[in-house]
Structure 1
Amino acid sequence: MTDTPLDFGDPADLDQLRHQFRAWLSAHPLPQRLPDEPVPVFLHRWHRQLYSGGWVGLDVPVRYGGRGLSALHQVAISDELGACHAPGVPRIGYLAHALLEFGSEEQRLRLLPRMLAGDDVWCQGFSEPGAGSDLAGMSTIATRHGDHYTVRGQKLWTSYAQYSGLCLLLARTDRSAPAHRSISAFALPLDRAGVTVRPLRAASGDDEFCELFLDDVRVAQAERIGAEGDGWPLAMTTVSYERNALDTGHISKYGLLVERLRRTARERRGDLPDGLLSEIGRCFVDYEVLVAHARRRTAERLSGQVAGPESSIDKLLMTTTEQRLYETALKVFPAEQLRGEDGELFGEYLYSRAASVYGGTSQIQRNIIAKRVLGLPSGN
């Protein structure tokens, strides 16, 4: 189902790129995770390996360390990785494009090559204890003093900050301006005085998430990304890449499971109840809608359309597709399979439950769509 996921004006060399990448993957297979190796350390080794082959930052201009190709070329690589169950292209693409759009030329030349190469590891300081899904409600303050700011506040759910050296940080710089126009972005070194990183250990034992405490942290004006007040559009640019299922490789990953469910439905039609067959059909519909929408969003980007609140639609579609897929898979496939080769499938099901929370809750996404896309009035 995923051999030709894009069919709108593909560059003539896109198939050639796919074949080249498949050949490279055959010669450079995914490295094995070492015993007790933290996940981000393993993923960083994979990042370095992909970069050494020229597969990171395909749609970033050459002068900033990329290959100067189109967004479709980068999407094709993400799709190939998803199709072979490999970890995706390092999730720095959305940060790189935020820097490309809002950073100064000096910042692009200094930060982007090191980001793409994996020389600098970045995290994302957006969410807060009281503003996880609604970024406009953040309370972290950056107060300006001439050529620098002092930042005070707290960030939460900052993934793998303990393994990062830099943070793309959002803070409010104008308390009198409207919420969406008062946020600015900074490239904050995490070894700066006043920064405390505290990992949060989950019940599973994983410490993916961290708290960041910012106690009068001094940040230079030159470390601000874009103008004051550019934080909100920068954040929207970031999440538009984070939420497009083609950028992340989720399309091909979901497609493999959808095809497996369809094949099982044909083979076991006499065994599966009609209700379960209907659920499999609904998974197929969800998947096709997501594919069509992801293509549309990619086409809009290629035409130069600026990212906006429509990315909330992407987030809802991905959440619905992913959760229904894994819920249905658990009903279709025997328990002994889930304990054996498909143990990973059960883990994916468990992780899918968080999809309606991370990156903005589904409730917040619906509010954004209602107010900012459809223009509906707020309720009393």
Structure 2
Amino acid sequence: MAVTEASAGANASVPSDDTDTDTDTDTEFRAEVRSWLSAHLVGEFAALGTGNDLGGPAELGVRRRWERELAAGGWIGTAWPRQFGGRDLSLWQQLVFNEEYARANGPIRVGFFGEQLLGPTVMAFGTDEQRARFLPPILRAEEFWCQGFSEPEAGSDLANVKTAAVLDGDEWVITGQKVWTSLAHLADWIFVLARTDPGAPKHRGLSFLLCPMNQPGVEIRPIRQITGTAEFNEVFLDGARTRADLVVGGVGNGWKVVNGTLGFERGTAFLGQQLRFAAEYWRLVDVARDRGVDRDPVLRDRLADAYVGLEVMRQTGMRAIGRALAGKPPGPEASTGKLQWSRWHQRLGELATDVLGPQAMVTGGDSATGGDAREELLYSFLFSRSHTIYAGSSEVQRNIIGERVLGLPREPSGAPRASDR
């Protein structure tokens, strides 16, 4: 999946073509994907763009419709086994789809938590009844999900959750607060890590509950970010109720289930991310050329260094894919990838502000003056500040690498340990 400078040019977001590495079957599949995207990623869907800014209610409505368009075309659940309604595509075909989706400037997926996290979790740990109830609506893009894990006092130390769930007849009553809940304002359901046995040890007595969002006991408060947008939210659960049988993996087994979910998150769920980063890199190269600063020796050196980092990211990803193809689940080595790409993207944003110079202090502008590219680069720079925190903070990733990969002694008591995530 090489990315070459030839992919820049008129559309800097288009990665290089890798048909030379495809088999005949993959070539046919790539043509199928390209044909479908060409016919369907048009109009209001194409206008969404590739940025992380999800927009207001109107744009969120378009994003929902785009998910339903993907569902109608059979492009949701492509990795799911056929027995659960998926297409059971090979890992390589999944890579092809993600590559072509990035090449076509496909918008950010708002069905991620259902398709990539909750769905595989229910398949692995859920009951037949739970699979029959929740998997089909995900495949049809009829129900959207958010993740209720982090709390004000339980981020890196996830087992420290205080949200409590008490059984009241045939319902769980959930009380507590979740924070940094991505897309909660769009979600119909939330999967919640809650303490169902307060007397059990820290990593026990936890349960993985499925809870509807549209009820009086759920309040969503947007968190306004430095970008000016609010993809993250606080979710307050004040006596929220869900059925007693909506526990995935059994009561008290939440820690095992949540680690499975996090494994899916750090596994193949981000297959398309490196391609988006590559597109952003070449967009920055084009801006540097347009501004004439690509001849500055210091900036040229930093651009070259960023390209090296991009290649390291690609090779790390390919090793992870090789493990998956060999039937090996994602291990603690996945933390090296998370640690590398999060810091790399932050440095790319810092480089973008230096390339833009004084224009980095200004927002707005039309495409004729580079306003669109500038806005995308500045938004990405601001949003990237969160990379070293979400999906496992860098501090915790380093502890995982040190303890589980290198075999170093554990951190002293009180510091976040690898076992906490």
TM-score of the pair, normalised by structure 1: 0.86
Task: Name the counterpart of 1:93.
Answer: 116
Mapped partners of 2:55, 2:346: distance in 1: 30
Deviation at 1:80, TM superposition (A): 1.8
How big is the shift at 1:326?
2.5
Which stretch shifts more, 152-161 or 28-37?
28-37
Q: Could you say which residue in structure 1 is the equivalent of 2:188?
A: 165
Query: How far is the alpha carbon of 1:285 from its aligned partner?
Result: 2.1
SS of the equivalent of 2:236 reads strand
Q: Indicate if the aligned counterparts of 1:181 and 1:230 stay in contact, CA closer than 8 A.
A: yes
Matched, 1:200 2:200: no
- Structure 2: how far apart are the matches of 1:102 and 1:73? 26
Residues 125-179 of structure 1 deviation map (CA, whole Å, 9 limit, x = unaligned):
1111111233122111223467543322111111222322111111123445443
Q: Determine the structure 2 residue equivalent to 1:67.
A: 87
CA distance in structure 2 between the partners assigned to 1:18 and 1:131 by the alignment: 43
User: In the alignment, which of 364, 371, 389 is matched to residue 357 of structure 1?
Assistant: 389
Equivalent-residue separation in structure 2 for 1:108 and 1:83 (angstroms): 33
Which residue, out of 214, 221, 235, partners 1:191? 214
1:46 aligns with 2:58: no
Shift of 1:67: 1.4
Which among 334, 339, 342 is matched to residue 316 of structure 1?
339
The residue identity in structure 1 corresponding to 2:296 is: L
Q: Does 1:24 align with 2:56?
A: no
Aligned to 2:279: 256
Paired amino acid for 2:396: I
Note the C-alpha offset of 1:107.
1.3
Instruction: Count how many residue pairs are aligned between Structure 1 and Structure 2.
Output: 378
Name the counterpart of 1:289: 312
DSSP 3-state at the match of 1:213: strand
Aligned-partner SS, 1:215 = strand
2:163 aligned to which of 130, 140, 163: 140
For residue 80 of structure 1, the aligned residue among 78, 100, 110 is 100
- Please state how far the C-alpha of 1:117 moved relative to its aligned partner: 1.3
Counterpart among 292, 295, 317 of residue 271 in structure 1: 295
Match of residue 348, structure 1, among 371, 377, 380: 380
Bigger shift: 245-254 or 311-320?
A: 245-254
Whether 2:401 is the aligned partner of 1:369: answer yes
1:200 positional shift: 3.1
What is the rounded CA distance, in whole Å, between the counterparts of 1:103 and 1:25 in structure 2?
Answer: 33
Secondary structure (helix, strand or coil) at the match of 1:143 reads strand
- Which letter does structure 1 place at the counterpart of 2:319? R
User: Post-superposition shift, 1:287?
Assistant: 1.3
CA drift at 1:228: 3.2
* Cα RMSD for the two superposed structures: 3.3
Cα distance change, pair 341–187 in 1 and its aligned pair in 2 (3 A): same
- Residue 378 of structure 1 corresponds to 410
Partner Cα distance (2:301, 2:219) in 1: 51
Q: CA deviation at 1:36?
A: 5.2
List runs of 5+ in structure 2 lacking aligned partners.
Answer: 4-14, 49-53, 360-368, 413-421
**What does residue 152 of structure 1 align with?**
175
**SS in structure 1 at match of 2:295:** coil
- For residue 235 of structure 1, give the secondary structure of its aligned residue in structure 2: helix
1:224 Cα offset (Å):
0.5
- How far apart, CA to CA, are the structure 2 residues paired with 1:301 and 1:52? 28
- Are the equivalent residues in 2 in contact too, given 1:241–1:247 (CA < 8 A)? no
2:254 maps to which of 231, 236, 240 = 231
Whole-angstrom CA distance in 1 between matches of 2:339 and 2:69? 33
Q: Which runs of 5+ in 1 are unaligned?
A: none
CA gap of 1:74–1:213, structure 2 versus 1, over 3 A, is same
AA at the equivalent of 1:54 = G
> 1:106 corresponds to which residue?
129
Match for residue 13 of structure 1?
Answer: 25
CA contact (8 A) 2:152 2:179 kept: yes
The CA distance in 1 between the partners of 2:84 and 2:228, in whole Å, is 38
Task: State TM-score, norm by structure 2.
Answer: 0.78
Cα distance change, pair 27–276 in 1 and its aligned pair in 2 (3 A) = same
**Could you tell me whether the CA contact under 8 Å between 2:167 and 2:173 is conserved in 1?**
yes
CA contact (8 A) 1:286 1:320 kept: no
User: Which residue identity does 1:44 align to in structure 2?
Assistant: R
Moved more, 124-133 or 182-191: 182-191
Match of 1:216 in 2: 239
Give the CA deviation at 1:119: 0.7
Q: Does structure 2 retain, via aligned residues, the 8 Å contact 1:94–1:237? A: no
The alpha-carbon distance between structure 1 residues 180 and 201, as it changes in their structure 2 partners (threshold 3 A), is: same
Aligned-partner Cα distance in 1 for 2:131–2:67: 20
- TM-aligned CA distance change 1:240 to 1:313, over 3 Å: farther
